Amino acid sequence: MSNENTGLLAGPDGVVRCFWHGNLPDYLHYHDHEWGRPVADDRRLFEKICLEGFQSGLSWLTILRKRENFREAFAGFDFDKVAAFNERDVERLLGNAGIIRHRGKIVSTINNAKRAREMVDEFGSLAAWFWKFEPGKEERPKNVDLAHLRANPTTAVSVRISKELKKRGWSFVGPTTVYAFMQAMGLVNDHLEGCVCRKGVEKERKAFQRPK
């Protein structure tokens, strides 16, 4: 049973969670075990920001269900390998029915792999660069509720990250895409108040060693 005002949904197990997974088993597993949990692994971060770019204009569930295909197609999102992709690889990927066959997004992923390599050379890791933008308490709402999330598809921090990435030559990294990335990789905890995962994710974030 869902509540349109709170954005919470009781699952078949009777547990109350954020509503957006719709109790679909694979989506619910992603909500419970992955979304919002802090990530410091560069390859996973690169995967997440690229897939958020592919998601633009589509549902995240569509991307989630194709994620293994994407991983196979893009060398496990090893950005050193993806940076070496050429036009032949672009044509190969355009022929791959298991992924989203959008030339602009495919070319963007290859470009972003090169930019990721540059950032690692400069900052030591992608994780160190992204985590330096973690919002302070004063930049976060006192209560994370549905009204706040609906009113804020972007934030000042996501705008800032987007601008910095674009300056560095990244593409398909608009503020909305970046905020979805921030939510997914745990830079913020946007599990709603009342969701069973919220306290656990917050505990995990507190224990998380921020990369330097």
Active-site amino acid positions: 30, 52, 60
Q: Look up residue 151 and give its two tokens.
A: 């009113």
Report the C-alpha gap between 163 and 16 in whole angstroms: 37
Report the C-alpha gap between 29 and 26 in whole angstroms: 5
CA nearest 78: which of 53, 47, 122?
47
Q: Helix (H, G, I), strand (E, B), or coil: what is residue 2?
A: strand
Q: How many other CB atoms sit within 10 Å of the CB of residue 187?
A: 23
Which region, left, alpha or beta, applies to residue 23 given φ > 0 means left and ψ of -120 to 50 means alpha?
left
Q: Look up residue 207 and give its two tokens.
A: 């224990």
Orientation of helix 60-73 relative to helix 25-33, angle to 10°: 80
Burial class (CB in 10 A: 0-12, 13-18, 19+), 189: buried
Q: Look up residue 24 and give its two tokens.
A: 């679909």
